Amino acid sequence: MTDYNEIITTVTPKKKLFDLNLKETFKYKDLISLLVTRTFKARYKQMLLGPIWAVIQPLLTTIVFTVVFGKIANLPTDGAPQFMFYMCGNVLWSYFSTCLNGGANVFTENAYVFSKVYFPRLVSPIANALGNMINFVIQSVIFFGFLAFYVINGTITPTYYLIPLSLLLVLEVTLLSMGIGTLLASLTVKYRDLKMLIAFGIQLWLYATPIAYSSVLVKEKMPQLYNLYMLNPMAPVVEAMRKIYLGVGNINYKYLLISAAVSVAFALIGTAVFNRTEKTFADKI
């Protein structure tokens, strides 16, 4: 057993910009896992359908998208089956948006606990991301189930050799959503009205991302805006995901690199601002 009497902690006012204290955060791994389970329990307890919600939500959205954008509006889907085309985008988008939204609420939701007990605050956004990642994995399994059906059927041919890249893309989405999330979380401590803006902003962002339509449409109808459009870091990621798993469209590596750089930048800025906010949080809330 560790002799805790040997561990000396020193508290000083100074704090470096990127003093993440990862070692200490890692010591709290049990807390992270408990927080993740707590989120699940709190989310699905006393609910009729419980964890099935994690599955129903993207499934229903996909069905609605298929009917509205596919059947009624008759938007082209680059030759992929409409259902799979929308599901691929929806699963990724729902991971991104829940992760961002949860991250943005870290401070306001934990205000009481943060002002009463100490633990490395980074634990909370990490637990949030992990919790949403579990949801994402469940949804991905459903997606792969449907995918298998279409692949065996012969209607879809995934780009197999690119599948490892998709893991990197998921990592990128995680970094991006956590970065923006923690940045917004720090800002909402000061500006409470940002909270309204976040939900609204995510909704607008959805329309600026090729979830409900293909980016080919943007290229055709508004070529002058296409370059600007692809600077949305989520746009090339969604495109690439569709290329990898559905074998349609193409990967624009230039924009994918830009988007990766933007994501890393957001992750760094988010952590730095989070660190600064954490310091004075208890005095402000």
Partner 1 sequence: MQKDSAIEIKGLVKEYRLGQIDSGTLRGDLQSFFARLFKKDDPNIPLLNDQYYSIKNKTHRAIDGVDLTIKKGEAVGLIGINGAGKSTLLKLISRITLPTEGEISYRGRVTSLLEVGTGFSAELTGRENIYMNGAILGMSKEEITSKMDKIIEFSEIGEYIDTPVKRYSSGMYVKLAFAVAAHLDSEILLLDEILAVGDVKFQEKSLKRMDEAANQENKTVIYVSHNMATIRKFCKRCIVLDAGKIIYDGDVESAIEVYTEHKKKEHSADNDLSKLTHRFCPNELVRQVSLTRFKLENCEDCVVNDRKSFSFSVYCNSKKYIENAYFLATFADTANQAVATSFSEAINIKQGENKFSFTLDLSPLKVGTYSINGALVEKSSFDIFSNYDYVEQMCYIDIPQEKEGDFLWSKRYWGVVRLDNLKLGGGNND
Return residues touching partner 1 (CB under 8 A). 4-13, 15, 27-28, 30-31, 34, 38, 41-42, 45, 112-119, 190-194, 279-280, 282-284
Burial of 236 (0-12, 13-18, 19+ CB in 10 A): buried
Q: Of 223 and 283, which has the nearer Cβ to partner 1?
A: 283
Write out the two tokens for 157: 């041919």
Q: Give 148's Cβ-side CA count (13 Å radius).
A: 6
Q: Shortest Cβ distance from residue 40 to partner 1 (Å)?
A: 10
Euclidean distance between CA atoms 204 and 226, whole angstroms:
17
Q: Of 114 and 255, which has the nearer Cβ to partner 1?
A: 114
Write out the two tokens for 7: 């561990």
Contact between 58 and 87 (Cβ < 8 Å): yes
Q: Shortest Cβ distance from residue 284 to partner 1 (Å)?
A: 8
Q: Of 41 and 254, which has the nearer Cβ to partner 1?
A: 41
Q: Shortest Cβ distance from residue 38 to partner 1 (Å)?
A: 6
Euclidean distance between CA atoms 164 and 162, whole angstroms:
6
Q: Shortest Cβ distance from residue 232 to partner 1 (Å)?
A: 23
Sorted by sequence, the CB contacts under 8 Å of residue 183 that are 6+ apart come out as 266, 269, 270, 273, 274
Q: Of 245 and 281, which has the nearer Cβ to partner 1?
A: 281
Contact between 209 and 239 (Cβ < 8 Å): no
Find where tokens 């129903």 sit: 56
Write out the two tokens for 196: 């309204």
Q: Shortest Cβ distance from residue 184 to partner 1 (Å)?
A: 12
Q: Shortest Cβ distance from residue 213 to partner 1 (Å)?
A: 32
Q: Of 71 and 276, which has the nearer Cβ to partner 1?
A: 276
DSSP tag of 58: H
Q: Shortest Cβ distance from residue 110 to partner 1 (Å)?
A: 10
Looking at this protein, which amino acid is placed at residue 122? L
Q: Of 183 and 235, which has the nearer Cβ to partner 1?
A: 183
Helix (H), strand (E), coil (C) string for 89-149: HHHHHHHHHHHHHHHHCHHHHCHHHHCCCCCCCCHHHHHHHHHHHHHHHHHHHHHHHHHHH
Q: Of 19 and 220, which has the nearer Cβ to partner 1?
A: 19
